[in-house]
Structure 1
Amino acid sequence: MRFFTIAAVAASVALSVQGAAVPSHGAHLAVHERRSVPHREWIKRSRIPSKTKLPVRIGLKQRNLEKGHDYLMDVSHPDSPNYGKHWTSEQVIEAFAPAEETVDAVRDWLVASGISPGRIVHSDNKAWFAFDAFAEEVEQLLHAEYHEYEHLDGDRVAAACDEYHLPTHIQEHIDYITPGVKMITTSRKRSTKRSSIPGKSKGVTPLGAPSTKWPTGFPFNDINSLETCDVLITPACVKALYDIPTNTKATPGNEMGVYEEGDYYDQEDLDLFFQKYTPYIPQGTHPTPNFIDGAEAPVAVADGGGESTLDMELAYPIIFPQSLVLYQTDDYDYAVEYPVEGFGNEFLDALDGSYCTYSAYNETGDDPKLDPVYPDPHPGGYQGQLMCGVYKPTNVISISYGEAEIDLPENYQRRQCNEFLKLGLQGHTFLYSSGDFGVGGYPGDATSSGCLGPDGTIFDPQFPVNCPYVTAVGATKVYPGHSVFEPESAANDLAGAPWARAYSTAGGFSNVYAAPSYQQAALSTYFAEHNPPYPYYEGNASFGANGGVYNRLGRGIPDVSANGDNIAVFLNGNFTINGGTSAATPIFASIITLINEERLALGKSPVGFINPALYSNPWVMTDITNGSNPNCHSDGFSAVPGWDPVTGLGTPNFPRMLEMFLSLP
C-alpha cells in the first residue's frame, strides 16, 4: 500500500485513468467546495491514476466554536461568578467535539458508499475521520476529478480537484475534505535563505546588536543605582519602574515558560549577567529544557542569540528563585537553514496533543505547505516523529516572535487563535510581543517596506499577536532626563540613536479579527475622544477602501506595555544593550508569574487569560500618554489618555495588579 508520491505521478502516463464523471446537479448533491481562482504557482497536470492510494481526511463540523469566546469570558471576566474555574483538557475536547449525530451520519454515508468500517479511523479528539482510498474510490465518493499539480519550483507535487460534491443531507456535518480543493503535497525542498537576524527569519525579533559596544570601564557599576536608568535599564531599574518586590516563592508547577526558535542561549552569558547584576542567583542557573522536534541548547558563547539571552536575563532577576522552562522549537534545519512560512503550530502541538489533529476553519493539523514536516527529510535533520502533547504548558508563557498578519492564510491564523482560546480556558496565559516597526510590519514580509497597499501607506498588523486570546505587549522607554519614578513614553528611536535601524513599538488594528467584547468599550472611548487623523476602512472585506489605512473595526494592539529600550545584557561575552517589544514581553510575563505565586499561596487558581480583568480595571496600569509609533509614510498613532494603539492600557503597577487579582475568586 502506498500513498500519493512523485513516483505515482510519473507513472500516470503509463496507467489508464478511471473515475466517475461529475454528475449533473440533482437535489441530492451539491458542490461543497470549489476553487474560485487557479493556483498561481501550481501547474495542473494529468488525471491521477485510478489505483493511486490517497490519504483521505474528513474534517467534521465542530460544536460550539461560536460559543468559545463566551466560554472563555465566563472563566476570565472579573464579574463572572465562574472566574478562575478553569476547564480540564477533557472538558475542552468534549465541548468542541462534533455531535454524535454528525459522527454517525458521516460514518453511515461512508459505509454506504463502500468504505468499510474497518478502514475508518476516528481521531482521539473526535474531530475527523481518516482512511486510505484509491483515487477511483475518492472520485466516486465525491463525484470529482483528481489531477496532479506540480509546483513551479519542480520539487513539490500535489493532489487536488477543482470541486467536489456531497449529498445535501451530509453537507451540514462536514467542514472540508482533503485531498480536495485544498491540496496535499508530498515532496518539497525548503528555501535555503538563512535568517539574517537572530531569531525567526520572518518575524518580531529583538533589536539585535547595538551600533557600538560599551567601552571597557563603562561607568555604571552600581547595580542598585537608579540615577542612570534613562541611559541603561538594569534589573534594579525594572523593579523600580513597576514596584516589583523581591520574590521569595517558587511554587512547584508555577515555573515560567519562554519560547525560542532559531536563537539559542549560552550559559556563559547568563553567568556573566548573574555575576554582574544578580549575585544572589547561583552561577550555572539555567532553564529546564522542553525541547521540541529536535531542538538543542545551550550553545557556545560565540553563538549565543540576542533573543534568548534578552528573555532570560530579564526574567530571572524578577522570578528567581522560581525557575524558567525553555520551549526551544525545531531542529536547526527548519529553525535556521530552511525556515518555513508558518509559525507556532509545532509549538502548540507539543503542548496539546489534540491540536496535532484538530480540525477548525478548514484546517486540520499542521499545514503541509507552511509548517515543518517530521521526520525531517533533509540530511542530518531530526528523524523523530512530530511531537504531540509531550509537555504540559506552564501557567505563563512569554513569546517574542511573530510575523506579518498578511503573510499567512486567515484560516491558519484562526485555527491557531482558537487553540489559545482553548488553553486560556484551561488557565494558561500567553503573552506576545507586538513588534518593532510601529504601524508597519517586518520589512520583507508582505512588502519590502513592511507596509501594505500600492503606495506602502496601509498599516500592517502582526501575527499571532493579533489573536484576541493572547495578551499583546508593546514597549516603552525612559526618555533622557527622566527617571523611573515618572510615567514612561512609547519606545520610538530614530535610526542610529542608538540602533542601526529605526525602532518603534508596534500597534494598530487587526484585519483578521474584530474587536473582542472585553475591548470594545476602550476602543469606543479612544475613537470618540482621540480620533486618529487618518482615513480608515471597516472590515477586511473593504480593505483600503476610500484611501483607508487601518481597519476601524479590528482587534486593537497592544493590550499592555513594559520597558523595551536600552536593556543591559551580556551577549557573546560582551556587556552591551538590547531592546524591543521582545524585552517588554518577558518583563510582563514575569510579573504575571509573581501574581500567580501569591494566588496559589492562597489556594486560588492561576489568573489564566488576563485581558478581561485588565480592561475592566485599567486603574491597575500606569497610563502612558507620550510618544508615537511612526511608519508607512505616517506619524503612526499617538499615545493618549486611556487605551491607545501604541502602549495599550499602559505599563504595570505591580502592587495594584496584585491587589486586583488577589481580590478575585
Structure 2
Amino acid sequence: MLGSSLVVLLAAAAAAASPLRARSPYAVKERHFVPRGWSSVGKAPGEHIVDLQIGLKQSQFDELERHLYEVSDPRHQRYGQHLTPDEVHDLIKPHDETLDLVHEWLEDAGVERPELEYSQARDWIKVSLPVNEVERLLDTEYSVYEHESGAHLVRTPEWSLPRHLHEHIESIQPTNSFFRAGPRKSNVKPVGKKAEKPAGLAVKVAEAGSASSSVSDVCDEDYVTPTCLRTLYGTIDYVPQAAGQNKVGLANYLSETNNRSDVSIFLSQFRSDATKAAFNFTIDVIDGGDNQQTPNTAEQNASGKDEEGNLDAETILGIGYPTPLIAYNTGGEPPFTPDDAVTSNTNEPYLTWVQYVLNQTDIPQVISTSYGDDEQTVPLSYATTVCRQFAQLGARGVSLLFASGDEGVGTAGSCISNNGSSAATFLPSFPDGCPYVTSVGATKGFSPEVVAYDELGSGSIYASGGGYSNYFAQPAYQAAAVSNYTSTTLGSAYAGLYNASGRAYPDIAAQGQKFVVTWGGDNILLDGTSASTPAAAGIITLVNDALIAAGKSPLGFLNPWLYSEGYKAFNDVTNGSAIGCGVDGFEAAVGWDAVTGWGTPNFPKILEILGLN
C-alpha cells in the first residue's frame, strides 16, 4: 500500500514539475464565412499535400510596436534608430512554453521535429502534410472550392485546436483564408493595340541632372511617361548619390515577372541612361515563382501575363535609376489543379513572401506591392499575423507601399457583407487596412491633379480605392486627420456602410492613369493604383538616397512622419471621389481624405522638410 502511494505521489510531483499542461479537448479556434464567388465542389483528396504554416504567439509584440513607432516618429529622440534583425527576433520569439506545448501536440499526432521548418525567430512553423493528416490535426474537413473565375482552392471554413493551445497559436494557414492577391491594374487599350504618342508631346528622355521642361511640355494625361512623372514631382534634376547603399524592391505574384526585353525597350525610349538596368536588376524567385523570359504564348497574352510586372519595373527604374532594384517573384498560383491532387497548395502569397524577406539581411529600404483583395476574404487571424510581419519590416527601416485598389469603395453589385447577414457594406481592402504599411491611391490630370477615374467600357469603371478597415483600429498617428475628415466632410453620409473608427486609407497618392507600358514589344496604356504605387516608391527611394548620402537613416515606416509633418510636402488633391458600390463614395477634400490621403509627393519640398535642401 505504501509503495503504491509513493508511486502516486511521485507521478503527481513529476506532473507538477512538467512545463506542459494536461491534454485538453478540441474546440473551434476560428470560423470564417466562405466569400461570395466561391463554392464547394467536393471533398478534398486525402493525399493532397498542404504546406501548413503555424503562427505562434509572439512574446513581446507590444514592445516591438512601441519600438516601431518610436524609431518612425520624427518627434521622438530615437527617430531613425531602426532595429537590427536580432533585436526584432528577440522581441517576437515565442516563449519556451509555447514551443514546448506545440511540439508536444505535433509529436502526439505523429509529426516529428525533423519534419518541421522554422522562421528565424521560430514564431512560424512550416510542415508539409497530406490533407487527411491535417484534418486529424485540426479536427476539420477540407473541401475543394471553385471561384467564379475558374480558380480552385483547398480550404475549410473552420478549424480547431486543443483548448490549451488557443492562447499559444495565433493562426494556421492554409485553412479558411480565401485571399486572392489580385493585381491593382486595368487595361485601357485592347491587347495588341499600340499606344500612340500624342502629337507635339515632348517625350525625349531628360537624364538625371539635365535641365527640365515644363509639365505642359512633357505631360499628357493620355500618355504618361517617366519624364512626365519626374518633372511633375520634381525629381528630374536630382542626381542619386547613394545607389550602392540604397535599394528598392517590388513584389510579383500570380505567375508575373518582369520581362527584361520589354523593360529594355521601354527604358531606351523614356530613360536611355537606364537601359542597361533592364538586364542588371535582381530577380529573386520564391517558392516556385515564375521568371519566364521567353515570349508569351497566345493564352498568356490573352490573360495579360507580365503586364503588371512590366508596369512595376518600368515605372520604378524610369524614376529611381540607378538605385538597384530587386524583384521578388513569389509562387502560389494556381493553388490547386483538381486533376493533380498531389500538387502542393501554397496559396498564401503574402505570408510566404514576407517570411522570405524577413529572413534576408539585406532588404531594400522601399518595397512596392501592387496587389490586394477585399479584407473580408481574409480571416482576422491571417490578416493580423501578416500585418504583424509587416511591422517587423517597418521596425528594421523598410517602407512598405501597397496599392489602394481600383474599384473605389467596392465593385458595384458585390458590396455585401461576408458575416452571414448579407448586409450592404463598402469593401475595405487588405493589406491597406494594416496600420504598419503605407497605402497609395491614384490621381490623373496635372493642373490640378484629381482623383483617378476611367470608364473602361461595358459598364466597367476604374476608380481609385479608399476606405476604413473593419479589422484594424485607427492608429493614433492618423486619428486627428481622419476624425476631421469623417466628421466634417462625410458627416452622416454612408452611415453604417463603413467603420468610422477603423484604420483609414490611403495615406498618399500619385499619378495612376494611362501609363505607357512596353509589353510584348509594343507600348500599351494601363490604369491602376498598380501604377501609382511604383511611382510613389520610386520617389521615396530618391528621398532615401538623399538621406543616406547625408549620413542619415532612411525614412523607414512612413506614416508617423507623414501624418506629423511630412504631409506639408504633398500636393493636396481636392476633386473627385472613390466611386463604387453604385455611389460616389468617399470624396476628396482639403487635407487628408479617404481617396487620395494627403495627396501627391513634391520631392523638393520633402527634401526641404527633412533638412536636405
Q: TM-score, normalised by structure 1?
A: 0.70
Pick closer, same or farther for the CA change 1:605–1:438 going to 2, 3 Å.
same
Q: Which moved more, 1:468-477 or 1:59-68?
A: 59-68
1:352 has 2:311 as partner: no
CA distance in 1: counterparts of 2:51 and 2:318, whole angstroms: 51
1:242 shift after superposition: 1.1
**Residues 125 and 331 (structure 1 numbering): CA distance in 2 closer, same or farther, change over 3 Å?**
closer
Counterpart amino acid of 1:298? Q
Flag the 1:95–1:583 CA change in 2: closer, same or farther, 3 A: same
Task: Report what 1:487 is aligned to.
Answer: 448
Matched residue SS, 1:626: coil
Partner of 1:461: 428
8 Å CA contact retained: 2:23, 2:162: no
The residue number in structure 2 matching 1:9 is none
Correspondence for 1:650? 599
* Cα deviation digits, residues 340-379 of structure 1 (max 9, x gap): 75331121122124xxxxxxxxxxxxxxxxxxxxxxxxxx
1:627 aligns with 2:588: no
CA drift at 1:438:
0.5
Deviation of residue 296 (structure 1)?
1.5
Q: In the alignment, which residue of structure 2 is the partner of 1:230?
A: 221
Report how far residue 663 of structure 1 moved.
6.5
Shift of residue 609 of structure 1? Answer: 0.3
| Residue of structure 2 equivalent to 1:449 | 414
Q: 1:657 to 1:92 in 2, by over 3 A?
A: same
Segment of structure 1 superposing worse, 462-471 or 332-341? 332-341
Number of equivalent positions = 542
Distance 1:655 1:103, change over 3 A: same
1:141-540 equivalent positions in 2, closer than 5 A? 149=141, 151=143, 164-166=162-164, 174-175=168-169, 203-211=182-190, 213-214=193-194, 218-220=198-200, 222-224=202-204, 226-227=216-217, 228-244=219-235, 245-261=237-253, 262-283=255-276, 285-286=278-279, 287-294=281-288, 295-300=290-295, 303=301, 305-330=306-331, 333-334=334-335, 342-353=348-359, 389=360, 392-441=362-411, 449=414, 452=417, 457-478=424-445, 484=446, 486-496=447-457, 501-536=460-495
Q: Distance in 2 between matches of 1:622 and 1:439?
A: 23
Distance 1:239 1:57 in 2: 42
Q: How far apart in 2 are the matches of 1:433 and 1:396?
A: 14
3-state DSSP class of the match of 1:348? helix
On the 8 A contact 2:286/2:331 being kept in 1, the answer is yes
1:145-175 Cα deviation digits (max 9, x unpaired): 98673636799799x9866344xxxx79633
**Deviation at residue 577 of structure 1 after TM alignment:** 1.7
- Tell me the amino acid that sits aligned with residue 328 of structure 1: N
Deviation at 1:246? 3.5
User: Aligned equivalents of 1:456 and 1:405: distance in 2?
Assistant: 16
Q: Is the 8 A contact 1:487 1:622 kept in 2?
A: no
Change (3 A) 1:157 1:605: closer
Q: Give the distance between the partners of 2:162 and 2:526, measured in 1 at CA.
A: 53
Q: Mean alpha-carbon deviation: is it higher for 452-461 or for 409-418?
A: 452-461
SS in 2 for 1:397: strand
RMSD: 4.5
5+ residue gaps, structure 2, are 1-20, 35-39, 147-152, 205-212
Query: Which one of 17, 28, 34 corresponds to residue 34 of structure 1?
Result: 28
Aligned counterpart, 2:589: 640
State the one-letter code of the partner of 1:270.
V
**Alpha-carbon distance change, 57 to 640 in structure 1, aligned in 2, over 3 angstroms:** closer
Distance 2:549 2:260 in 1: 32
Per the alignment, in what secondary structure is the counterpart of residue 504 of structure 2?
strand
Letter matched to residue 240 of structure 2:
T
SS state of the match for residue 284, structure 2? strand
- 1:397-434 deviation digits (Å, cap 9, x = unpaired): 11101111111111111100000101100111110000
Equivalent pair of 2:512/2:527 in contact (CA under 8 Å): yes
TM-score, L = length of structure 2: 0.76
Asked if the contact 2:42–2:145 (Cα under 8 Å) also holds between the matched residues in 1, the reply is no
CA distance in 2, matches of 1:476, 1:436: 11
Aligned AA (2:199)? P
CA distance in 2, matches of 1:597, 1:622: 21
Give the number of the structure with larger relative contact order, counting CA–CA contacts within 8 Å between residues 6 or more apart.
Answer: 2
In 1, distance between residues paired with 2:174 and 2:531? Answer: 39
Assess, with a 3 A threshold, how the Cα gap between structure 1 residues 57 and 417 changes in structure 2: closer, same or farther.
closer
Structure 1 residues 629 and 59 mapped into 2: Cα distance closer, same or farther (>3 Å)?
closer
Shift of residue 655 of structure 1? 1.1
Q: What pairs up with 1:17-166 in 2 under 5 angstroms?
A: 33-34=27-28, 61-99=57-95, 106=101, 125-127=121-123, 149=141, 151=143, 164-166=162-164
- Closer, same or farther: CA 34–605 of 1 in aligned 2, 3 Å: same
Pairing of 1:538-617 with structure 2 (within 5 A): 548-617=496-565
The amino acid of 1:449's aligned partner reads S
Task: Please say which of residues 271-280 and 580-589 is displaced more in the overlay.
Answer: 271-280
Identity, in percent, stands at: 30
